[in-house]
C-alpha cells in the first residue's frame, strides 16, 4: 500500500484534490467535525479544560471560535484533546484499507504532527495565491484572525515543499488537476 499525503496551505485545495485521486481518503477535517458533533467524551474534556465557553453538547463551532480568539492557549488545549482521537481514527482507516494499492491522507498538520513514514509519498499543493484568498473569503466561517492562528501551527510552506515528492500547481481548473493527478498515479502504481 502506498500512503499519499497532501500538504499545503489552508485553502490550497487539498480536500478537493484528494477526492480526485480515486482511492480511499482519510479526511482529518471531516473526522474533527464528526468528533465535535458526536463525541460526548471529547465535549466533557473540552468543557473541563476550557469551562467558560461551551454551553451544551454538541460542541458549537461559534463557541469554539470564540474560545480560540479569546485565548491563544485554548487552541493548544483543544488540539491536545482532539489530535489523539484523530490519530486513532487514522490508524483504523489505514488498517481497514491495508489491501488497497493507494490510500490518501488529507491531514492539515501531517508533517507538523510527524505522521509521515519513510515511504510516504507527499504531494505539495501550490495554489494560485489570488484565487486562494478569494476562495478563503467566500467560506462561511471566514475569520482572518482565526486563520492566522491556524497558520501559526503550520510549518513554513517552503519546508513542506522541500519535503514533498511531487508538486501540483493548483490553478483551480478541474482538467489541469486531473492531468497532474494522473501523471503522479502512473508513477506510483
Q: Where are the domains positioned within the chain?
A: 1-24+102-189, 29-96
Residues of the chain with pLDDT > 90, as a percent, come to: 75
Which of residues 89 and 144 earns the better pLDDT score? 89
Cα(18)–Cα(26) distance, rounded to whole angstroms? 9
CATH of 1-24+102-189, one of 3.40.50.300, 3.40.50.12780, 3.40.190.10, 3.40.50.2000: 3.40.50.300
Nearest Cα to Cα of residue 125 among 94, 97, 151, 157: 157
Query: What mean pLDDT is reported for the chain?
Result: 92
With a cut of 80, say whether residue 80 has pLDDT above it: yes
Phi, psi (rounded to 5 degrees) for 2: -100, 125
With a cut of 90, say whether residue 37 has pLDDT above it: yes
Using an 8 Å Cβ cutoff, are 78 and 64 in contact?
yes
Q: Is the pTM of this model over 0.85?
A: yes
Amino acid at each position: 500500500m502506498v500512503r499519499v499525503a497532501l500538504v499545503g496551505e489552508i485553502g490550497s485545495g487539498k480536500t478537493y484534490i484528494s477526492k480526485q485521486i480515486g482511492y480511499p481518503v482519510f479526511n482529518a477535517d471531516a473526522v474533527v467535525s464528526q468528533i465535535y458533533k458526536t463525541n460526548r467524551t471529547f465535549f466533557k474534556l473540552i468543557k473541563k479544560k476550557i469551562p467558560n465557553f461551551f454551553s451544551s453538547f454538541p460542541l458549537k463551532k461559534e463557541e469554539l471560535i470564540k474560545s480560540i480568539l479569546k485565548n491563544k492557549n485554548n487552541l493548544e488545549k483543544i488540539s491536545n484533546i482532539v489530535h489523539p482521537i484523530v490519530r486513532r481514527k487514522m490508524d483504523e482507516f489505514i488498517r481497514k484499507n491495508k489491501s488497497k494499492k493507494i490510500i490518501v491522507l488529507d491531514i492539515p498538520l501531517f508533517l507538523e504532527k510527524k505522521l509521515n513514514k519513510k515511504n510516504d509519498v507527499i504531494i505539495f499543493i501550490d495554489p494560485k495565491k489570488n484565487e486562494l484568498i478569494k476562495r478563503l473569503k467566500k467560506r462561511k466561517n471566514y475569520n482572518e484572525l482565526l486563520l492566522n492562528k491556524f497558520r501559526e501551527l503550520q510549518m513554513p510552506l517552503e519546508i513542506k515543499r522541500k519535503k514533498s515528492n511531487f508538486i501540483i500547481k493548483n490553478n483551480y481548473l478541474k482538467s489541469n488537476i486531473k492531468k497532474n493527478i494522473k501523471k503522479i498515479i502512473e508513477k506510483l502504481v
